[in-house]
Amino acid sequence: MSHSAGDRAHDSGGGPASAAAAHSHADVDRHVRSALFVFAALLVLTGVTVGAWFLHLPTRAAIALALAIATVKGTLVAAWFMHLVSEERLIYWMLILAASCFLPLLLFPTFTMLGAITPR
Amino acid sequence: MSAIPYTVEVRPDTGLNNGKIAIWLFLASEVMLFGALFASYVMLRVGATTWPPGATYLNIPLATVNTVVLIGSSVTMVLAWASLVKGEFSRFRLFLGITILCGLVFLVIKYFEYSAKFHHGYLPATNTFLAIYFTLTGLHGLHVIGGMAVNAYLWGPGSALWRTDRQHFTNRVENAGLFWHLVDLVWIFLFPILYLL
């Protein structure tokens, strides 16, 4: 559908076009509501991340906790802001490909280093 | 003609429009780019005999504010796109404008952070921690600038497309949004890794 008028023409006319628009409006409203909910969750989790830092946990526990929270936050952003929850399968495959290249990249050097610095 | 057209029609074979596939391929390459640097960070840290806590050099309250600013800008980006889908162009401009401003606030805070480091003589050459800090945050900062440039174009001259092809313009904003959310996502990991651990 193409509109030639500028600024704020709302789809208020009859016919199938407005029915489709109404449907997508409801979808968008739902999307916005979940985005605001995710926003609140991200703020709380940011608070938890910084709060955990004040606890001065042992290094290993601090790393595990901070990365766990970051992973939850990252998943929320990817799933709802980037709407991966309702995305086509092709995109999942593209990301799985990227992840399967990234993981060896992350792990091989680390294993090498761990092997190299193992105390005798 | 072998060129792939930039259309907003969903292709039957992929179930997606071409622009969506292209931006996700680009984002996948970005994951690899930052992934390589995260891997470097892990390797440098595991290999180092000592590693300074981020707070030794870095300002945690400022970075916390920046985290909130960037998360907020992601929400306004979603609201900007949602406004377009509902045909509300002036609301779109308001929310995209706020998104751009948030990007600017992030960069200004980053500027103060960098200035403080330079003032104290903390340079990338000072030690490994600062080297990887400046590399990761510098690259991320360039992404913020890039995202702001695209958003500013869509807010300004690029928005002329709205008058002729609404769907196409909405699609552009959606794709710009996907990039902006990735910038947010990367920062969500950079913040604890560099500042808090």
How distant is the Cα of A48 from the closest Cα of chain B, in angstroms?
11
ipTM, 2 dp: 0.90
pLDDT tens-digit map of B71-111? 999 999 999 999 999 999 999 999 999 999 999 999 999 99
Quick check: A35 and B75 CB within 8 A? yes
Which one of B28, B43, B78 has the shortest CB-CB distance to A35?
Answer: B78
Helices B166-190 and B89-119 cross at an angle (nearest 10°) of 30
How distant is the Cα of B196 from the closest Cα of chain A, in angstroms?
6
CA atoms within 13 A on the CB side of A40: 5
Which one of B15, B75, B163 has the shortest CB-CB distance to A88?
Answer: B15
- pTM, 2 dp: 0.87
Q: What is the pLDDT of residue A116?
A: 56
pLDDT tens-digit map of A8-29? 334 333 333 444 455 578 888 8
pLDDT at A113 over 80: no
Q: Can you tell me the mean pLDDT for A33-52?
A: 94
pLDDT tens-digit map of A49-101? 999 988 888 888 888 899 999 999 999 999 999 988 888 888 899 889 988 88
Q: What is the pLDDT of residue A14?
A: 36
**Are B8 and A2 within 8 A, CB to CB?**
no
Burial of B196 (0-12, 13-18, 19+ CB in 10 A): buried
Average pLDDT, chain B: 93
Quick check: A6 and B90 CB within 8 A? no
Q: What is the pLDDT of residue A101?
A: 84
How distant is the Cα of A46 from the closest Cα of chain B, in angstroms?
8
Quick check: A81 and B31 CB within 8 A? no
What string of DSSP letters covers chain B?
--PPP---SPPTTTSS-HHHHHHHHHHHHHHHHHHHHHHHHHHHHHH-S----GGGTS-HHHHHHHHHHHHHHHHHHHHHHHHHHTT-HHHHHHHHHHHHHHHHHHHHHHHHHHHHHHHTT--TTT-HHHHHHHHHHHHHHHHHHHHHHHHHHHHTGGGGHHHH-HHHHHHHHHHHHHHHHHHHHHHHHHIIIIII-
